[in-house]
Structure 1
Amino acid sequence: MSDKDSLYYPLNISLFAFTLQSGTDLDSPTAINEPPQSFKDKYEKLLKNNYDRIFDFDNNPFPAFRQQFPDSHNYELLNANKSGRQFFSFSSREKNPNPLNPKPLYRLLLYPQKLGDSYALLINIFRPQDAGFDTVNLNEIAKFNPNQCLSLSDDPNFIGQTFLITAYLNIAEPDKPEALRPHAEKLLKPLLGDTCPEFYQAEKFLDSYLLEFSRAKTSQTRVLVLFYFSDFTSEQLQKIYFDLPELFLYYHKIAHVYQMSRRYAKELDKLIQSEIASKSQLPDSLDLEVLKTNLKDLLKTTPKYTSEFRKLENAGNTININTVNYQRTLKRLQAQVNDRFELFSRFVEREIQTFQLQIQADLNYSKPGSQLLDQAIASIRGLVEIEQAENAEKLQNTIQAVGTGIGVGVGVAGIFATSYPLIEKPWRLPSLQHPFLPPHPFISAIVLSFVVGGGLGLFAWYITKHHLDRKLRQKK
């Protein structure tokens, strides 16, 4: 492309950015309730920190928000002191070199709204149209977005953003819109840098050509480049320009929720593979402690699994609701300008249908995991109860056998002890004293009672325990 091809006029950059104002994000149970002033402070800080050299914000303060907000889901945030749309514009300090009637070199338009549970911010920076004095070359494009600051992506409640870039090109109208891709990419490189998504599609739009750079499955940023080849395009775009935030909001809600659903599906799959499948397998040895550990782990997994499954279900429902809103808004805009909006309609036919089918497939895949989890918990809980009952019976049998043995031993020892009334009688033998005899007959009685009683007690314990263990095995 020659230098002549690198001139754009009059370049117009619009940022449509969206954040949640109220409600609950699917990722967090914490309720969101951001006051309007907080939202106002954010975009004022963004503009003051990056555009103060171009616009005199000190002498031209930002407009105040309205004091009373209507009882409505959708309303404009700026003071309602005039009829029509409530936006505010700033003019740059620098003017173009037109000797007859110089115009500001840059203009900035600000249009904040509340749409449902979200804030919608439109920031429009453009070169005012002035024949012969409104061209923009490549070296100047970066000034429209200094430090590539145009974004609310750092906001914790950020949903997504769409850039709409319009300009005339000093070239002949091509046969196919895809032929304009090199011109669009050359424009976007200094404007957005590496933050620009990859090229996705191009289509005829309002008698001109619209190119889309996006990845709805993974990116929260979408870029639309509209190259004019007819004044009719600009006139028609003005009719729907202030309605575009609503259409783009539903686009980003759908894309944002789908992107979150991928995390939920991944977490469910992880729980199924690493927790449910492994813990639900019975060990080779039914060790009671191992069973208890597995049961505790599965009981901890249940609320996690249920939570992620419900999030995935809610994601599908949210996409369905916003699809209806998107289609209704799109139909209204189509009627306003009598255009088919093929590029925007394709989002429903391609991405949204794919999103819905994917989430339903994830739910179908995850449902058996919930059933397996319940079955595993019930099975292991039953085994634990059986093991505990058997261990209790074994302990009872052991106590009974030991008691029997002790009873027999003590009884026999008592008999032997009472069979020797010799406590006060010494051993009486003929003249020789046997060297191996104890010195007294009482000691012999005690020793013999322990030996005979203990032996019979052990025998009684063994017979009793063997009998009870055989009965326990027969029960199984």
Structure 2
Amino acid sequence: MMSEIIYPTLDLFLYDLRDELGDSAGDRPNDRVNFSLKLPEQLRASIVQRDADIEGEYVELSGSRGTRQFDSRSLKYALKGYYYPVRLGESYGLLLDCSVKHSFRHPDRSQTEKLPVSCFADLKAELELRLANQKSSIGQVWMLSGQIPNFTPDNAETIARSCCQIPELELDWDRDFRGKSQFAGGMIFEFWRYGFKGAIASSISDSISIRNIHQIQDNNTVFIAIYPDSETAKKASQLDFDWLRLFAYRSKIIWAYGQSQYLRQQLKEDFDLIKQYLKDFNQSQTRSLNLKKLRQILLDAQNTFSNYSIHLNYLNIQKRTIEVNLLNYQRRMERIKQRLTEEFKAENELEALKQLEVLKRFDDDVEHRYLLQIQNDCESFSSGVTLLGELINSIRGITEIDQSERDRNFQNTVAILGVGLAAGSMVASIATQFPGASDPKEATKYPLGSTLSQLGIPDPWLVPAVSATASVGIGVVAAVITALVIKLIWFFKK
């Protein structure tokens, strides 16, 4: 039957954070703990011992044996598999493998029994049980593989289509199918569904940060590899460690792209604030100057400028992350192409390249869609930095000019009052030195004294009144003259 497969195997390639740019010193132990929770208890101690602070591009974390084997069983099948945890630079990687050895009805047919493709549901349930519901923080890729008798590309596609009918795999041929190609003597099919759980604008909240963007991503990548016989399948399994690295680069690219969309939403919200600040600023220019409002706009703009600059820098970091991982992805594909030519008897490099066509499509999408979009976002949002800088400088200039004007007016006022008081004090001190200055009768001989006497000032108070009036009058005159001189000086300076 076309819905049967021999030695079905399910591989999960899973990736976690370890030491990302911008992480705090306390993040690495937490990342290590989160990763170790996906492993059996006896493996966790070796993770701590072998995961030294010294950086390594590729470090096996399970000891010298590399893999940790396990045996298990489902309701119908005897299962076997292994863990293979590694450190990949600044990330953790885990290859978790599980195969059906045989059904309980035919223990004598180990690895040769024809089984319904529905057994992949048992394999997935086993792997998810071993992960204890722990999710990857970067991404993961599933790979289903097996052998079929009477192999043809059409028969292989029939099996792949049958796998899409398994509810637990959450695959839809019409929705998720991305491509197919001959590969290593068999056929390989790619399925990929990517997006965000709901609109990203409504998904992002205070509880979602750039480090846990995976919580709102829907990233389901599945490969199905079908081979004609056990010898071909066994030889193709030698590529598992190439897959482990290739899918790491792929997952990191998608993870960085998801972060870029998070940052894009943050920048968009901040850019809307910038436009509102500019509108408020322009309105304040058409009315009487409201320094209190301008200072509030300045404060808000400075806060936004800080957040906006950080988000824009992080967006550029995600762009570089994608560029680096895309380059590594291309190099790893080149290595696989060489292996296909040298070890898997591809006729020539062109034939090997054709076998990688299904993987090359992702390469093209990243280069011509995702990177271009992020590049456009970086360029578009960069204008916000310029606008914010000009707005802040304009408000600062206005407030500084106003403050300078206030300081100048204050200084002028002090100067005018000082001259007036000095002149008045001088007159008061001189007036008491004149002969007869203390005689009220003598004071009435002068116009000022006569006027004050006629106004009803009694004789005992007439002399002080004359002195005070003269002092105030001279002080006022001196102050007025000083004010006129100051205005003339500023007039000629303009």
TM-score range, shorter chain: 0.7 to 0.9
Structure 2 counterpart of 1:461, from 476, 479, 484: 479
Q: 2: distance between equivalents of 1:133 and 1:168?
A: 10
Instruction: Tell me the SS of whatever aligns to 1:80.
Output: coil
**Residue deviations 1:336-375 (CA, integer Å, cap 9, x gap):** 2334221111111112332221222222223333334444
Who is 1:406 aligned against? 421
Q: Note if contact 2:10-2:99 (Cα within 8 Å) is conserved in structure 1.
A: yes
Q: Note if contact 2:68-2:83 (Cα within 8 Å) is conserved in structure 1.
A: yes
Structure 2: which 5+ runs fail to align?
103-108, 197-215, 341-345, 347-351, 445-453
Q: Note if contact 2:74-2:122 (Cα within 8 Å) is conserved in structure 1.
A: no
Who is 1:445 aligned against? 463
Q: Note if contact 1:17-1:151 (Cα within 8 Å) is conserved in structure 2.
A: no
Report the residue type matching 1:24 in the other structure.
E
Q: 2: distance between equivalents of 1:93 and 1:181?
A: 25
The structure-2 alpha-carbon separation of the partners of 1:239 and 1:229, relative to structure 1 and needing over 3 Å to count, comes to closer
Q: 2: distance between equivalents of 1:39 and 1:290?
A: 48
Q: 2: distance between equivalents of 1:113 and 1:197?
A: 35
Who is 1:116 aligned against? 89
Q: Given the alignment of the two structures, is residue 13 of structure 1 paired with residue 14 of structure 2, yes or no?
A: no
Who is 1:24 aligned against? 20
Q: TM-score, normalised by structure 2?
A: 0.70
Give the deviation of 1:308 after TM superposition: 2.8
Q: Comparing 254-263 with 135-144, which one deviates more in the overlay?
A: 135-144
Instruction: Tell me the SS of whatever aligns to 1:127.
Output: strand
Structure 1: which 5+ runs fail to align?
49-60, 97-103, 428-435
Task: Name the count of aligned residue pairs.
Answer: 436
Who is 1:262 aligned against? 261
The structure-2 alpha-carbon separation of the partners of 1:140 and 1:230, relative to structure 1 and needing over 3 Å to count, comes to closer
Q: Given the alignment of the two structures, is residue 421 of structure 1 paired with residue 399 of structure 2, yes or no?
A: no
The structure-2 alpha-carbon separation of the partners of 1:393 and 1:79, relative to structure 1 and needing over 3 Å to count, comes to closer
Q: Given the alignment of the two structures, is residue 310 of structure 1 paired with residue 306 of structure 2, yes or no?
A: no
Give the deviation of 1:472 after TM superposition: 3.7
Instruction: Tell me the SS of whatever aligns to 1:336.
Output: helix
The structure-2 alpha-carbon separation of the partners of 1:178 and 1:404, relative to structure 1 and needing over 3 Å to count, comes to farther
RMSD: 4.6
Who is 2:138 aligned against? 159
The structure-2 alpha-carbon separation of the partners of 1:266 and 1:162, relative to structure 1 and needing over 3 Å to count, comes to same
Q: Note if contact 1:160-1:220 (Cα within 8 Å) is conserved in structure 2.
A: no
Q: Note if contact 2:16-2:137 (Cα within 8 Å) is conserved in structure 1.
A: yes
Q: 1: distance between equivalents of 2:31 and 2:483?
A: 80
Q: 2: distance between equivalents of 1:159 and 1:276?
A: 35
Q: Note if contact 2:12-2:96 (Cα within 8 Å) is conserved in structure 1.
A: yes
Identity %: 22
Give the deviation of 1:329 after TM superposition: 1.0
Report the residue type matching 2:222 in the other structure.
L
Q: 2: distance between equivalents of 1:276 and 1:474?
A: 41
Q: TM-score, normalised by structure 1?
A: 0.73
The structure-2 alpha-carbon separation of the partners of 1:37 and 1:387, relative to structure 1 and needing over 3 Å to count, comes to closer
Q: Note if contact 1:148-1:191 (Cα within 8 Å) is conserved in structure 2.
A: no
Give the deviation of 1:185 after TM superposition: 3.2
The structure-2 alpha-carbon separation of the partners of 1:422 and 1:95, relative to structure 1 and needing over 3 Å to count, comes to closer
Structure 2 counterpart of 1:190, from 159, 168, 181: 168
Who is 1:57 aligned against? none
The structure-2 alpha-carbon separation of the partners of 1:18 and 1:439, relative to structure 1 and needing over 3 Å to count, comes to closer
Q: Given the alignment of the two structures, is residue 329 of structure 1 paired with residue 332 of structure 2, yes or no?
A: yes
Who is 2:228 aligned against? 230
Give the deviation of 1:127 after TM superposition: 1.4
The structure-2 alpha-carbon separation of the partners of 1:334 and 1:220, relative to structure 1 and needing over 3 Å to count, comes to farther
Q: Comparing 87-96 with 65-74, which one deviates more in the overlay?
A: 65-74
Q: Note if contact 1:197-1:223 (Cα within 8 Å) is conserved in structure 2.
A: no
**Residue deviations 1:126-153 (CA, integer Å, cap 9, x gap):** 2125488552475982573169557699
Q: Note if contact 1:404-1:457 (Cα within 8 Å) is conserved in structure 2.
A: yes
Q: 2: distance between equivalents of 1:29 and 1:299?
A: 25
Q: 1: distance between equivalents of 2:118 and 2:375?
A: 47
Instruction: Tell me the SS of whatever aligns to 1:14.
Output: strand
Instruction: Tell me the SS of whatever aligns to 1:357.
Output: helix
Q: 1: distance between equivalents of 2:379 and 2:155?
A: 42
Who is 1:432 aligned against? none
Who is 2:202 aligned against? none
Give the deviation of 1:406 after TM superposition: 3.1
Who is 2:115 aligned against? 135
Q: 2: distance between equivalents of 1:355 and 1:270?
A: 21
Who is 2:61 aligned against? 77
The structure-2 alpha-carbon separation of the partners of 1:463 and 1:269, relative to structure 1 and needing over 3 Å to count, comes to farther
The structure-2 alpha-carbon separation of the partners of 1:334 and 1:32, relative to structure 1 and needing over 3 Å to count, comes to farther
The structure-2 alpha-carbon separation of the partners of 1:185 and 1:254, relative to structure 1 and needing over 3 Å to count, comes to same
